[in-house]
Amino acid sequence: MVTHKTTEQASLTDTEKPVLRAKRVDVYYGNNLAVREVSLDIFQHKVIAFIGPSGCGKSTILRCFNRMNDLVPSAKVKGEITFKGKDIYAPKVDPVELRSQIGMVFQKPNPFPKSIYENIAFGARINGYKGDMDQLIEESLKKAALWDEVKDKLKQSGLALSGGQQQRLCIARAIAVAPEVILMDEPCSALDPISTLKIEELIQELKLQYTIIIVTHNMQQASRVSDYTAFYNAEATDDGDKIGYLVEYDDTETIFQSPQQQATQEYVSGRFG
Amino acid sequence: MIEKTAQNSNHDRSNLYDTALKKRYGIDNIFAVATWSAISISVIVLAVLLIDVCIDGIPKLNWNFLTSFPSRNPEEAGLLSALVGTIWMMITVAAVSFPLGVGAGIYLEEFASDNWFNRLVEININNLAGVPSIIYGLLGLQVFVRLFEPMTGGRSILSGSLTIALLILPVIIVSTREALRSIPDSLRLAGYALGATKWQIIWEHIFPLAIPGILTGTILALSRGIGETAPLITIGALTFISFLPENLQSAFTVLPIQIFNWVSRPQPEFHDLAAAGIIVLMVVLMVMNAGAIILRNKFQKKF
């Protein structure tokens, strides 16, 4: 289905247009180049895994897609990132509005120290949700596979839940804003294997309605949940800094079974990283 | 054979390491005693002061003392005007310094970008917290009493309150910033990721969590303000007032000034009145602190 995707023109053979497209994206922190020349296309209702060793820039690139890097004063993004054809770094694009369309789930579950109900209602309220709030909260919790566990204690603190439940609450919170894309930055790295499995099953459900990009250190996870996989690597510069770059982007099976690049082959077979 | 190896390795270990447990526990004990002495000295000094004040002052404490104006006759003298003046002033100081201090703290911590101007402001605020209070008195005299006389009414409650508010402002700003800084960034990120603006995040998530810390800092600052004497004497608060303030532009006195006045009289009867005044001042202080604790607990109960 997909051929291979490291070059700029490389168009995945899918006929539809990509939801997100990065073109020769460089990210700087201050004057240091952190990630260079990343180009990739992300298609609707797919799960895309970003894998690679620490410091390869996979989280950095992830945070470019909803402009969370704007919050780091020294961060600079060059190149072009488009969301449904529009440049998200264009001056007239409002990052606040963008983030309501591209949600995010973080490494460590970070529910607000408020009730389960309030955790979900907050995002909807600030984005001017006009429908029935109770219904939205039930739907969001059901989609996040958490409803049965919490339906009788919606007024309790979100912090009273277990780590895995908290992370699903964070997913429910992201869904309630009706985003098109959900970015997940190592969502399972702080969770036990059973909670991890639940989140992975959830991701399979969610991709029917959302596009999901997931950063993971766990290669089994990438191979289980994703349709496409992007492998990033880092090279050291003369003064000891690391510059990350995209090595190979292809469908997950190809990346894990017959990657084109030797570095990918070595990484997915566990020989480094 | 195996046993022998084990013995050998044990032997090696005691050659390489001297665990000296006895010596280490000894040092533990020395520090336990040293820190215990530090706390006992503070408590003993405080206890002696309180007992001394209570012995002198409690016999003089009665309803008349609280409801009479000062007088040349120690039998008739009371501190009504000073007590009412202190209450008026604390309310005004709180009303002025809380919004200003918390606002400035929020700006510096959440909104200000890291540039030379904001760093300069920051350094100045930290330094202001250490400026002697009499300097604030001189500032208050020039600015509030003289320059703004038409508005403040000269040596009035308003002038005194503004001076004390300035004095405690740096403390409130610094404690607001500390309280905001202690809220984990992950909550801010969570808010941003949902498409919240800065103010929505601060108002809905950061501020409610920071409020207990902010209140604690504010009350500590007000407690400092309530005991200040020097700046108020500098701006010319009167020491003998036999009427109650009618509005913010009235002349006034406060408890510490009244106490100071009584202590400086030669007659020993007035010294006992001063002790009674100190007890009243401490009760007012404790009521304020208790109020702060109740408020803080009330806010903390929301998760």
Q: How far is the C-alpha of B168 from the C-alpha of A75, rounded, in Å? A: 38
H/E stretch holding A79 reads strand A75-83
| Residue in A237, A227, A234 with CA at minimum distance from that of residue A267 | A234
Whether residue A103 lies within 8 A of chain B, CB to CB, comes out as yes
How much is the pLDDT for A11?
46
Q: Is the pLDDT of residue B5 over 70?
A: no
- Looking at the structure, do residues B21 and B125 belong to the same domain, yes or no? no
Whether residue B200 lies within 8 A of chain A, CB to CB, comes out as yes
pLDDT in tens, B115-143: 889 889 989 998 888 889 999 999 999 99
Q: How far is the C-alpha of A122 from the C-alpha of B206, rounded, in Å? A: 13
- Looking at the structure, do residues B207 and B259 belong to the same domain, yes or no? yes
How much is the pLDDT for A127?
92
| Residue in A199, A142, A137, A194 with CA at minimum distance from that of residue A168 | A199
Whether residue A67 lies within 8 A of chain B, CB to CB, comes out as no
Question: Which chain B residues have a beta carbon less than 8 Å from that of A171?
Answer: none
Q: Which of B22, B43, B60 is the last residue of a domain?
A: B60
How much is the pLDDT for A1?
39
Q: Is the pLDDT of residue A6 over 60?
A: no
| Residue in B170, B159, B155, B150 with CA at minimum distance from that of residue B92 | B159
Confidence at B195, pLDDT banded by 50, 70, 90: very high
Percent of chain B clearing pLDDT 70 (strictly above): 95
Higher pLDDT, B153 or B52: B52
- Is the C-alpha dihedral spanning A132, A136, A139, A142 positive or negative? negative
- Looking at the structure, do residues B74 and B32 belong to the same domain, yes or no? no
Of A115, A126, A173, the CB nearest to B200: A126
- Looking at the structure, do residues B49 and B148 belong to the same domain, yes or no? no
Q: How far is the C-alpha of B98 from the C-alpha of B216, rounded, in Å? A: 12
Instruction: Give the best residue of B194, B203, B207, B303 to mutate against chain A (max A CB count within 10 A).
Output: B194
pLDDT in tens, B176-191: 999 999 999 999 999 9
How much is the pLDDT for A15?
53
Q: How far is the C-alpha of B303 from the C-alpha of B205, rounded, in Å? A: 12
How much is the pLDDT for B3?
53
Range with the lowest mean pLDDT among A14-23, A168-177, A232-241, B21-30?
A14-23
Give backbone dihedrals phi and psi of B189, rounded to 5 degrees, phi first: -60, -40
How much is the pLDDT for B174?
93
Q: Is the pLDDT of residue A164 over 80?
A: yes
Answer whether B189 sits within 8 Å of A170, measured CB to CB.
no
- Label residues A55-82 b or e (16+ Cβ within 10 Å = b): bbbbbbbbbbbbbbbbeeeebebebebb
Domain count, chain B: 2
pLDDT in tens, B91-120: 999 999 999 999 999 999 998 888 889 889
Of A100, A112, A173, the CB nearest to B205: A112
- Looking at the structure, do residues B219 and B153 belong to the same domain, yes or no? yes
The CATH number assigned to the domain holding B131 equals 1.10.3720.10
Mean pLDDT score, A69-96: 91
CB atoms within 10 A of CB B230: 17
Query: Taking all residues of chain B, what is their mean pLDDT, rounded to a whole number?
Result: 87
Pairing mode of beta strands A75-83, A86-87: antiparallel
Residue numbers of the domain that contains B98: 68-302
- Looking at the structure, do residues B39 and B77 belong to the same domain, yes or no? no
Q: Is the pLDDT of residue A99 over 80?
A: yes
Q: Which of B60, B80, B96 is the last residue of a domain?
A: B60
* C-beta of residue A178 within 8 angstroms of C-beta of residue A13: no
* C-beta of residue A189 within 8 angstroms of C-beta of residue A110: no
- In chain B, the residue whose alpha carbon lies closest to the alpha carbon of A172 is B194
Residue type, B90: M
- Label residues B39-55 b or e (16+ Cβ within 10 Å = b): eeeeeeeeeeeeeebbe
Of B187, B209, B302, the CB nearest to A110: B187
Collapsing DSSP to helix, strand or coil, B24 comes out as: helix
Answer whether B194 sits within 8 Å of A112, measured CB to CB.
no
Whether residue A187 lies within 8 A of chain B, CB to CB, comes out as no
How much is the pLDDT for B7?
54
- Residues B53-59: contacts with CB within 8 Å, 24+ apart? B53/B275, B53/B278, B53/B279, B54/B275, B54/B279, B55/B275, B56/B271, B56/B272, B56/B275, B56/B276, B57/B272, B57/B274, B57/B275, B57/B276, B57/B277, B57/B278, B57/B279, B58/B276, B58/B279, B59/B272
Whether residue B117 lies within 8 A of chain A, CB to CB, comes out as no
- Looking at the structure, do residues B37 and B170 belong to the same domain, yes or no? no
Q: Is the pLDDT of residue B298 over 50?
A: yes
Q: In B141-267, which residue ranges form alpha helices assigned H by DSSP?
A: 149-152, 157-181, 185-193, 198-201, 207-226, 230-235, 255-263
Higher pLDDT, A14 or A226: A226
Query: Taking all residues of chain A, what is their mean pLDDT, rounded to a whole number?
Result: 89
- Looking at the structure, do residues B132 and B259 belong to the same domain, yes or no? yes
Sheet with A75-83, side-by-side order of all strands: A86-87, A75-83, A20-29, A32-42, A242-251, A228-236, A47-51, A211-215, A181-185, A102-105
Q: Is the pLDDT of residue B36 over 70?
A: yes
- Looking at the structure, do residues B41 and B72 belong to the same domain, yes or no? no
Q: Which of B60, B77, B108 is the last residue of a domain?
A: B60
| Residue in B169, B167, B137, B285 with CA at minimum distance from that of residue B223 | B285
Answer whether B195 sits within 8 Å of A111, measured CB to CB.
no
Mean pLDDT score, A45-57: 91
Of A68, A113, A170, the CB nearest to B192: A68
Confidence at B226, pLDDT banded by 50, 70, 90: confident
- Looking at the structure, do residues B75 and B121 belong to the same domain, yes or no? yes
- Looking at the structure, do residues B23 and B126 belong to the same domain, yes or no? no
H/E stretch holding A248 reads strand A242-251
- Looking at the structure, do residues B98 and B233 belong to the same domain, yes or no? yes
Question: Dmax of chain A from CA atoms?
Answer: 58
- Write out the DSSP string of A115-178: BHHHHHHHHHHHTT--S-HHHHHHHHHHHTT-HHHHTT-TTSBGGGS-HHHHHHHHHHHHHTT-
Q: How far is the C-alpha of A214 from the C-alpha of A183, rounded, in Å? A: 6
Q: Is the pLDDT of residue B44 over 90?
A: yes
